[in-house]
Amino acid sequence: MTDRALAVVRAGALTTVQDRGRPGHAHLGVPRSGALDGPAADLVNRLTGNPPGAAVLETTLDGCTMRPRSDVTVAVAGAPCPVTVDGRPAAWGAPVRVPAGALLDIGPAVSGVRAYVGVSGGIAVEPVLGSRSTDLLSGLGPAPLTDGTVLPLGRPTGPHARVDVAPQPAPPAELVLRVTLGPRDGWFTPEAVRAFLSRAYRVSAASNRIGLRTEGPALERARPGELPSEGMVLGAVQVPPDGRPVVFLADHPTTGGYPVIAVVRAADLPAAAQALPGTPVRFVAVHRR
Amino acid sequence: MKVLPVGEDALLVEVSSGEEAQALHAELLRRRAEGSLSAREIVPAARTVLLDGLDAPARVSAELTAAEIPPAPPRARAVIEIPVRYDGPDLADVAAHWGMPEREVARIHAETEFRVAFCGFAPGFGYLTGLPPRYDVPRRATPRTAVPAGSVALAGSYTGVYPRSSPGGWQLIGTTDAVLWDHARVPAALLSPGTRVRFVPEARS
């Protein structure tokens, strides 16, 4: 019997296991979690013949290196990056056959932040509340990978896709985030709401899986104090006391007391996951459909 | 009752008290169970209930604006008993705030029936209400970097139990060996919104 597992040789800056997360438990204080760039995670599953929602690896900036213990098909997408097998260049954004014992290296991102690595059979760590995702806020799910971690793989369920290179959006040079105002835009001065929707922000280096932090004009409050804690949604733009908007990403807290000035459309969040620190950000108001 | 749209598919329903929020939460759970409400998440909080993942937010908003919310249903659920030792490092400070000896703080706390108003902060952390407003206490001026798991604590009008070691600014009045969160257990959370809770002092050994 082959040993279906993946040995981690170089874990990289932050590599986690991600699937579609664990929605439905927010009332217990459990964040949603899951891949930040969902379309990229879906793509690598499709390319490797996995069902949608199989667990993949999410790397941060500098990739990772692995040695599968059995023959596998892998695919890398999301942030563009060099891929090699035993030192020989291999395709990015397409299925790649990796023989047992070969060294698969996912190099540093050429642009963007997070690369996704799909492996035929999926990463088969034990699910927690129906998900294999690492949740960095609450600590649920597997710990971030470390050198030497051995990840179990599931059984492949389907043939890999027959494509050469799948088209993908390029990581953004400017991040345009469409928002609907509220629910707490009334907590800010009209000037602050105008500034939020017209001034230039930049992605802060303090961004992580919990939130995309920004640098830019501080938003002045029309009323002081804190709200009683209230439920928070994915994409909520929370404004802490320093006045700089924070866009909540997958590992966001389920409740919070800072006012939410607006909510980013879900379709714009994958691009936010790929925006490097320093990327210009614009918030653009749209009407609810 | 005020219904605020949140993004594309969520609503924040705001009411004027914690009791109303609990009644609204119970009513929304009832509607979801009978199939007249489709929501991925129903998240109660201090004065609000968030409905997320709605198929038809505009219709739900109109229905709720017109709705009469019945008071919270009679307390049919069993009481969860949490064994406690009133030995927390902030017990003396809380006694000073309450203007009574420490043993009186322990007696009053143990004689109160609590209810989980909502959860948040960490998986399995419940915000328990039940103490009258005159026993509200402020948070610690300087939060601790590590509050031990099982700490029974007060802040504002709430009592909470830390499910795992984490930073925190609540006033620690006691300790429990109860396991608040175990993801291998069903259900993982000992406390969920609406749960009734009593703290039962352990006999001194």
Neighbouring residues of A91: CB distance < 8 A, sequence distance ≥ 6: A83, A164, A165
Mean pLDDT of B81-90: 98
Please tell me whether residues B94 and B62 are part of one structural domain.
no
Confirm whether A242 is domain-assigned. Answer: yes
Q: Which residue has the higher pLDDT, B68 or A36?
A: A36
Confirm whether B103 is domain-assigned. Answer: yes
Mean pLDDT of A208-218: 97
Chain A segment 45-104 residues within 8 A of B by beta carbon are none
Structure tokens at A221: 């409050």
Average pLDDT of the residues of chain A:
95
CATH number at residue A250: 2.40.100.10
Q: Decide if pLDDT at B65 tops 80.
A: yes
- B153: which strand partners? B160, B172
User: ipTM of this model?
Assistant: 0.94
CATH number at residue B172: 2.40.100.10
Rounded to whole angstroms, the Cα distance separating B204 from A69 reads: 56
Per-position DSSP letters for A157-173, written without gaps between them = -SPPP--S----PPPPS
Packed helices B91-98 and B102-111: angle between N→C axes, nearest 10 degrees: 80
Please tell me whether residues B141 and B193 are part of one structural domain.
yes
- Sheet-wide strand order for B2-6: B2-6, B10-14, B48-52, B41-44
Mean pLDDT of A205-224: 96
Q: Residues B118-164: pLDDT tens digits?
A: 999 999 999 999 999 999 999 999 999 999 999 999 999 999 999 99
Confirm whether B73 is domain-assigned. Answer: no
Please tell me whether residues B60 and B83 are part of one structural domain.
no
Q: Residue A28: which of B8, B45, B192 has the nearest Cβ? A: B192
Q: Decide if pLDDT at B77 tops 90.
A: no
Please tell me whether residues B30 and B104 are part of one structural domain.
no
Confirm whether A170 is domain-assigned. Answer: no
Set of chain B residues whose Cβ sits within 8 Å of the Cβ of A182: 4-6
The number of domains in chain A is: 2
How far is residue A61 from each of residues A79, A110, A185, A273, A278, measured CA to CA in Å? 8, 9, 34, 11, 14
Please tell me whether residues B123 and B86 are part of one structural domain.
yes
Q: Residues B157-201: pLDDT tens digits?
A: 999 999 999 999 999 999 999 999 999 999 999 999 999 999 999
Range of the domain at B21: 2-66
Rounded to whole angstroms, the Cα distance separating A258 from A255 reads: 10
Mean pLDDT of B102-125: 96
Mean pLDDT of B36-46: 96
Give the strand pairing for A115-119 and A72-78. Answer: antiparallel
Confirm whether A160 is domain-assigned. Answer: no
Please tell me whether residues B116 and B183 are part of one structural domain.
yes
Rounded to whole angstroms, the Cα distance separating A223 from A225 reads: 7
Helix (H) or strand (E) holding B78: none
Structure tokens at A125: 């760590």
Q: Decide if pLDDT at A273 tops 70.
A: yes
Query: What share of chain A in percent tops pLDDT 70?
Result: 98
Confirm whether B74 is domain-assigned. Answer: no
Please tell me whether residues A114 and A245 are part of one structural domain.
no
Query: What share of chain B in percent tops pLDDT 90?
Result: 91
pLDDT of residue A1: 46
Please tell me whether residues B169 and B196 are part of one structural domain.
yes
Q: If interface means Cβ-Cβ distance under 8 Å, which residues of chain B face chain A?
A: 4-8, 10, 12, 40-50, 52-53, 118-125, 127, 164, 183, 188-189, 192-193
Rounded to whole angstroms, the Cα distance separating A289 from A287 reads: 6
Q: Decide if pLDDT at B75 tops 70.
A: no
Q: How many CB atoms lie within 10 A of CB A212?
A: 28
Q: How far is A250 from chain B (nearest CA, A)?
A: 14
Query: What share of chain A in percent tops pLDDT 90?
Result: 90
Q: Decide if pLDDT at A249 tops 90.
A: yes
Please tell me whether residues B108 and B161 are part of one structural domain.
yes
Q: Residue B183: which of A24, A128, A236 has the nearest Cβ? A: A128
Residue at a domain's end among B39, B66, B93:
B66
The number of domains in chain B is: 2
Neighbouring residues of A141: CB distance < 8 A, sequence distance ≥ 6: A16, A17, A33, A125, A128, A131, A132, A133, A134, A135
Mean pLDDT of A18-24: 97
Q: Does A29 touch chain B (CB under 8 A)?
A: yes
How far is residue B92 from each of residues A181, B98, B142, B150, B174, measured CA to CA in Å? 46, 10, 17, 19, 11
Set of chain A residues whose Cβ sits within 8 Å of the Cβ of B188: 28, 129
Q: Residues A153-203: pLDDT tens digits?
A: 999 987 877 776 667 777 778 999 999 999 999 999 999 999 999 999 999
Range of the domain at A40: 5-152
Confirm whether A46 is domain-assigned. Answer: yes
Rounded to whole angstroms, the Cα distance separating A258 from A162 reads: 48
Please tell me whether residues A106 and A190 are part of one structural domain.
no
